[in-house]
Chain A
């Protein structure tokens, strides 16, 4: 298995909703990442997990809450989002936190906040 799987592919949520994005990989990678990508822009790093521990938080608002239950799974919990949070959310993984061999990206979750 050489893929990063993200679910759901599309999500529409209201500003008072609570929802979660899920990311899974079975490549034995020990670092996992959340990126946010707005239209026609490069991805922006949100969070880095290394060996299931949060190692980087790029000053992301608390309405985004990451969770890494085990080495294969990464979640992003969403609560009280704003319309400007609408974007493509990408998950990625790498063999370790150095990222020397590159990242493997998932196909993303297209989030729309209404």
Chain B
């Protein structure tokens, strides 16, 4: 069975401090993994993707994620949070050779001044 677990429904950080949004997945053999961001009343924007190349993936707006197969994790990080990062973040897995995306339940990131 395929599943995605975002371990925190809410994360709150101060501006300028690091961000860590956690994601664990359950999938057979070489999934593709994605992080999307959704600002209020907006669509989803692709932050970054892992598709079996380098395990450390750099995305837009200073975000990056590391694919750790042994831990079945794909955590999203950013060294220094900005107020504009406040949004909902979704971890998404697409199992190998399977045309369906599985969304995590989302993590709402709050950035305090």
User: Chain A interface (Cβ within 8 Å of chain B)?
Assistant: 4, 6, 31, 40-43, 45, 48, 50, 55-56, 88, 90, 92, 97-108, 110
Residue of B nearest to A107 (CB): B43
User: Complex formed: what's the CA distance from A17 to B41 in Å?
Assistant: 24
Chain B residues with CB under 8 Å of chain A are 32, 34, 36, 41-46, 49, 51, 90, 94, 97, 99-101, 103-106
Nearest B residue to A9 by beta-carbon distance?
A: B41
Chain B positions within 8 Å of A92 at CB level: 44
List chain A residues, Cβ under 8 A from B41. Answer: 88, 110
Number of cross-chain contacts by CB at 8 Å: 55
Question: Which residues of chain A have C-beta atoms less than 8 A from B94's C-beta?
Answer: 98-100
- A21 to B34: give the CA distance in the assembly, Å: 27
Given A99-B32, A103-B46; 8 other pairs, CB 8 A cutoff? A31-B99, A41-B105, A42-B106, A56-B100, A90-B44, A99-B99, A103-B101, A105-B44
* Chain B residues with CB below 8 A from A106, complex form: 43
Whether B49 and A102, one on each chain, are in contact in the complex, defined by CB atoms closer than 8 angstroms, is yes
Is there contact, CB below 8 Å, between A105 and B106?
no
- B42 proximity list for chain A (CB < 8 A): 107-108
Let me know if B44 and A48 touch, CB within 8 A: no
Q: Lowest 5 CB-CB distances: which A-B pairs, in order?
A: A42-B103, A107-B43, A105-B43, A105-B44, A97-B99
Smallest CB separation, B101 vs chain A (Å): 6
27 contacting pairs across A/B (C-beta < 8 A): A6-B43, A41-B105, A41-B106, A42-B103, A42-B104, A42-B105, A43-B44, A43-B103, A45-B100, A45-B101, A48-B99, A50-B99, A55-B99, A90-B43, A97-B99, A98-B99, A99-B101, A100-B32, A102-B34, A103-B44, A103-B46, A105-B43, A105-B44, A105-B45, A107-B42, A107-B43, A108-B43
